[in-house]
Amino acid sequence: MAQENPLMETMPSLPQVLLNILDAIQDEQADLRSLGEIILQDPAMTARLIAVANSAHYARAGGCRSLDRAIMVLGQRTVKNVVMTAAMKQMFDELGRRHRRFLKESWRGTLVTATLAQALAALTRYPRPEEAYLCGLLVNLGRLARLTLDESRYPGLLETAEDDQDLIRREQATYGSSHCEEAAGLMAQWGLNPLLSDAVRYHLEPARQVRDAHHLVKLVNLAHALGAGEAITEGAAEAADLLFGLNEGLSSELRDSVQEDTRRLAAALEIELDDRDRTASDRRAEQRLGQCLGDLGQLDRVQGELSQVRELRQCCRAVRKVLFMTLGVEHSLLFLVDARRELLSAWTDPADDPAFVLPLERGRSAVTDTCLDGRLQVLSRSKGDDLPVVDRQLFGVCHARRLWLLPLVGTDRTVVGVLVLGVVSDTQAAQLEERRGFVRALTGEIARALGNGPPLPAGGDPDLQRRISEVIHEAGNPLTIIQNYLAMLRIKLGETYDVQQDLDLIREEIDRVGRILLRMKDVPALGQADDVPMDQLVRQVAEIFKGSLCRTRDVGLSLSLAAGEAGTFGHADHLRQVLTNLLKNAIEAVNTGGEIHVATSAPVNLNGSRYVELTVRDNGPGIPESIQSHLFSPVTSTKGEGHSGLGLSITRRLIDEMGGSIVCASGAQGTRFQILFPLDGQG
């Protein structure tokens, strides 16, 4: 086969399945696991993504041997680009239309084989059922590749072959190899385990030929035999008994269940599994696919348009322009949440004062309720008498019969505003309803643009440059944790999918990066006023380090928490960053097998005042005396390249902002940082 790997460029998929994948990619709430489950409905797209992930541009040590790992390596944006490229190719390529019947048969057959293989794997206690599913999904990979490479001859072989064995004989005579060998060769090129490619290579062998083969080979062989044809054959029943000792009743029950599941999925995707090449539902799917691709292209242009926003007037104008150009909505309003999260304000003319200022309280307006609930609302003018006057005014300002109220949810899941769309007719309402997924994605882009805010001015102000350096340094710490967790997850996903807690920790750290970067603005960071029990916060941060840096460096971390009811003085993020800096420094200071101890205590009495105490102690070599005299000043780091020396100066400033104090004692036996916060000042 040619080395150009046509799978990445021209191998066709059913438009209904591509639509499902594109919808999932646009869904802000979709995680990588749910995205992977949807992509696994399409053999061609699964093959394409594994091929890309194992290409020279993305390949990692050991290769990507599952779709989940491939998606993790590529990232959601690259996956989106690959899917969009494939969809664009298909829109302008007649290959998929000419062979729609074969694609449907292939899709149904491979999905049945994959699902049966996974069910048999569970039944026979194969430890990695996802491998059985993947192999089942790729049994027709060679046929799709041949169809793509040789459209002049291969469709004729498919049409005239009496059965699978006859097709193999004809392929051997024409190409010198079967489609099974073709698929196995591709899988080997991608770096997949040879046992996986063998399962595809031998899936059409007689059962007696594979009865002593690897478990995975037998699973896929039997799954294909059970799933083929209109009903279970005598040969398939004998194979089930020979390979795994399964009786005919259980085999039939498995087959019937999987066939019914596949029919339900086809109905949900509007795939008509009949003998016609191209049905009305196919044409509708092609039209919707074109619309979806157009929407995604518009989203890219929206990103460019909003990235130019520099201040409020430009923001309001840009948002109105975007809504008109993409949705045809001529009149709209943008309500923005203030820095203290107390008010929602909207401007009819950015040059004037706000036309509407709403207290962010439930029941004051449908706008405030939308902001607090984070859910879309649709208001009708016919029910205007039951609404607050301010909501009735919005109908007039937007010249609308209906209002769509959309929350603008930022990357940290905080609502930064509400978008009010004026809907002038039933036709426009129906069009918006049809494109609800695109509307949701569009509001996400607007929210991200608002969350990014205007860029910092360039210049030589040393204080500004110091502040930028500090913020960048602070952002580096949670990113280090994220990187360590991702490295561990890549290992874990090879064994189990039960990693939700790890994913939650990563999500929290990503959210914290966003809040840290917000300090580059003049407004307080969202979440800065949060107050949580100090012991709870210390335990959370410690667990993150135990599962990442401590584990990879074999460093012990112990806790003695006795702060009682003491909280974090309304500065949970500050204290989290302080502890992160100190723990990261301690881990870097101690050798393999070192120990770190974190303790809290309250109340601690000092000079007649009560304090909350937080200490971080390690048994490392201590801090050099030459450094101790200016320990909390921004200096060149002694850690080497990649370290800015800002960590402790940031720590000191954050503690000062919290009204606390920090002292350090260091010697040959280790280093101890003691932090005191005045307890009587807690509100």
Average pLDDT over residues 555-571: 84
141-149 and 179-189 are packed helices; what angle lies between their axes, rounded to 10 degrees?
100
Q: Under a CB-based contact definition with an 8 Å cutoff, are residues 508 and 530 in contact? A: no
Are the beta carbons of 576 and 541 closer than 8 angstroms? yes
pLDDT for residue 521: 45
Q: Are 464 and 520 in contact (CB under 8 A)?
A: no
Model pLDDT, residue 248: 85
Of the listed ranges 73-87, 354-368, 571-585, the least confidently predicted one is 73-87
CB < 8 Å & 24+ apart, contacts of 261-269: 261/115, 262/108, 262/111, 262/112, 262/115, 265/41, 265/111, 266/108, 269/14, 269/16, 269/17, 269/19, 269/20, 269/41
User: Lowest mean pLDDT: which of 245-249, 306-310, 348-352?
Assistant: 306-310
511 has pLDDT over 50 = yes
Closest CA relative to residue 532, chosen from 497, 473, 576, 493 = 576
Contact 408, 419 (CB under 8 A): yes
pLDDT at res. 459: 40
Inform me whether the pLDDT recorded for 306 exceeds 90: no
Dihedral over Cα of 134, 139, 144, 145: its sign: positive
pLDDT band of residue 457 (cuts 50, 70, 90) is very low
Pairing of the two strands 556-562 and 595-606: parallel
Please return the burial class of 304, using the count of CB atoms within 10 Å of its CB with bins 0-12, 13-18 and 19+: exposed
For the CA atoms of the chain, what is the radius of gyration? 30
Report the mean per-residue pLDDT for the chain: 75
Helix, strand, coil distribution of the chain in percent, nearest 5: 55, 10, 30
The counts of H helices and E strands in the chain are 29, 11
241 pLDDT more than 70? yes
CATH fold for domain 526-681: Heat Shock Protein 90 (3.30.565)
**Size of the chain, expressed as the number of residues it contains:** 683
The confidence score (pLDDT) of residue 216 equals 93
pLDDT digits (tens, 9 = 90+) for 185-199: 888 877 777 888 899
Residues 675, 660 contacting (CB under 8 angstroms): yes
Q: Is CATH 2.60.120.10 what the domain over 6-268 is classified as, yes or no?
A: no
pLDDT-derived band at 616 (thresholds 50, 70, 90) equals: very high
pLDDT value of residue 368? 93
Please report where in the chains the tokens 């169809």 appear, as a residue: 147
Q: Averaged over 498-514, what is the pLDDT? A: 55
The tokens describing 429, both together, are 């309402």
Closest to 595 in 3D by CA, of 564, 561, 626, 560: 560
Range list of H helices, 27-126: 32-39, 43-53, 67-91, 95-98, 100-123
Band of pLDDT at residue 351, cut at 50, 70 and 90 = low
Confidence of residue 606 (pLDDT cuts 50, 70, 90): confident
pLDDT of residue 636 exceeding 50: no
The predicted structure's pLDDT at residue 299: 61
- Is the Cβ–Cβ distance between 371 and 418 less than 8 Å? yes
For domain 309-452, say whether CATH 3.40.50.2300 is its number: no
| Higher-pLDDT residue of 535, 108 | 535
505 contact partners, CB below 8 Å, separation of at least 6: 485, 543, 544, 547
334 beta partners: 419
The predicted structure's pLDDT at residue 441: 77
Per-residue model confidence (pLDDT) at position 611: 87
Minimum mean pLDDT range among 284-288, 416-420, 538-542: 284-288
On the question of pLDDT at 286 being above 60, the answer is no
Does the pLDDT of residue 334 top 80, yes or no? yes
CB atoms under 10 Å from CB of 457, counted, come to 7
pLDDT at 142 over 80: yes
Could you tell me where the DSSP H helices lie in 453-499?
462-492
Beta bridge partners of 356: 346
**In Å, what is the CA distance from 81 to each residue of 8, 39, 45, 88, 286?**
12, 14, 12, 10, 19
Residue 303 has pLDDT above 70, yes or no: no
Greater confidence (286 vs 145) lies with 145
Domain borders along the chain are 6-268, 309-452, 526-681
Compute the average pLDDT of residues 427-447: 82
Strand partners, 173: none
**Per-residue pLDDT tens over the stretch 173-185:** 999 999 999 888 8
Rounded CA-CA distance 425/431 in Å is 10
Q: Is the pLDDT of residue 76 over 70?
A: no
pLDDT of residue 495: 47
Task: Locate 47 and state its tokens.
Answer: 């093959």
